[in-house]
Structure 1
Amino acid sequence: MTDTVAPAASTTATQPTEERPKPRLKKGLVIVNTGNGKGKTTAAVGLAVRAAGNKMRVLIVQFIKGKWKTGEQESLKRLAPEIELVRMGKGFTIDRLRDKRVSMDDHEAAARAAWDFAVERVKSGEYAVVVLDEILGTVKAGLVSVDELLDLVRSKPSKLHLVLTGRNAPPALVEAADLVTEMNPVKHPYAAGIMAQRGVEF
């Protein structure tokens, strides 16, 4: 009697087909760059450049930073009108870095003017991306309240991407945001006595 060997069963029919995830509704994101490490503004500027490359209109409002020139400021001028950069700060607010010639009243007035401008621009519907750079430092200094920031997050246009940077993100903001990244310092040249480098940090 001759043994017959049955053909091997095909496995292709039993393999589950991998389905691509269905595209979800596009929405404007609330993005928070926080933490004590370097890179919060750098990441926000990179996102702004990417958005401009996609023909999206971008506004960057800088709260704390003063009038000194930075490399990103000079570069972003070349990307106008897709990217609009508005600097409204008076410099650092923490005691060890603050210019004592600038009173806290002046800082508060500048912060309130920047905040009112930012709120009006966010709600205008003219932009696809708005970056509020160092807004979290402004909140930490008590110049803008957490409740005000949360109200803006909740009331922004649904398709607007809102990017918020700075240290000490409030827990309520972390909860409300869609994307939160915490920059943590592992090693920094400042600890070795190396000062900030042009083109790297400003």
Structure 2
Amino acid sequence: MGYIHVYTGNGKGKTTAAFGLAMRAAGRGKKVIIIQFMKPDKGYGEQVSARKLGIEVYPFGTNRFVSKKNPKKEDIERANKALEFAKEKLKEMYDMMVLDEINVALDFNLIKLEDVLSLMDSIPEKTELILTGRYAKNEIIERAHLVTEMKEIKHYYQIGIMAREGIEY
């Protein structure tokens, strides 16, 4: 049976946890793919490191923030393209597939919940499916085998320290 992991919540570390799990799997010879919703290919540290380890990384975002109240047509198209890409890649029998920020794409109504649930129901027996992002829907949580909520207690952004290379990106 394939297993489903969810990393959600408002705290830091969801993508970091998923990439760490992907790196662990790759280190054991597993075939791993990471599909990023709403994130561009900007050479973020995790993208660079994963690729050096032979992990496939496919970002589908743009270089701008997505408006939750008024997403651009391109944002919706890219998110749906990422979801279709994930469905096609599942046929290639990966040991692990990470769908980074898919929960946010759902919350922003860029993709449909029923399409994500259908993908979750179709994972091959040997595949670990990891879904990240804030705002995980109850239906996603119910289908998952492992759910971790990252809870922000304190963050240095609150005192004006901005994103740092090698730490946040």
> Does TM, normalized by the shorter one, top 0.5?
yes
Tell me which interval the TM-score lies in, with the shorter structure as reference length.
over 0.9
Greater RCO structure (CA 8 Å; 6+ sep): 2
Deviation by residue 1:129-186 (Cα, 9 ceiling, x = unmatched): 0000011111111111111111111111122100000011000111110000000100
> In structure 2, what is the Cα distance between the partners aligned to 1:114 and 1:71?
21
**1:157-196 matches, cutoff 5 A:** 157-196=124-163
Q: Once the 2 structures are TM-superposed, how far is the Cα of residue 67 of structure 1 from its aligned partner?
A: 3.2
Amino acid at match of 1:92: F
In the superposition, the TM-score normalised over structure 1's length comes to 0.79
Determine which of 87, 91, 103 is the counterpart of 2:59.
87
Determine which of 100, 103, 109 is the counterpart of 2:77.
109
Determine which of 118, 130, 135 is the counterpart of 2:86.
118
In the superposition, the TM-score normalised over structure 2's length comes to 0.94
Q: Once the 2 structures are TM-superposed, how far is the Cα of residue 95 of structure 1 from its aligned partner?
A: 5.7
Whether contact under 8 Å (1:48, 1:129) holds in the other structure is: yes
**Which structure has greater helix proportion?**
2
Backbone CA RMSD of aligned residues: 1.6
Q: Secondary structure at the match of 1:194?
A: coil
Whether contact under 8 Å (2:14, 2:150) holds in the other structure is: yes
> In structure 2, what is the Cα distance between the partners aligned to 1:149 and 1:113?
13
Q: Once the 2 structures are TM-superposed, how far is the Cα of residue 92 of structure 1 from its aligned partner?
A: 2.8
Give % identity: 44
Greater CA radius of gyration, 1 or 2? 1
> In structure 2, what is the Cα distance between the partners aligned to 1:78 and 1:141?
32
Determine which of 148, 153, 175 is the counterpart of 2:120.
153
Whether contact under 8 Å (2:68, 2:108) holds in the other structure is: no
> In structure 2, what is the Cα distance between the partners aligned to 1:87 and 1:31?
20
Unaligned runs of 5+ in 2: none
Whether contact under 8 Å (1:36, 1:183) holds in the other structure is: yes
After superposing on structure 2, the runs of 4+ consecutive aligned residues of structure 1 that deviate more than 3 Å are none
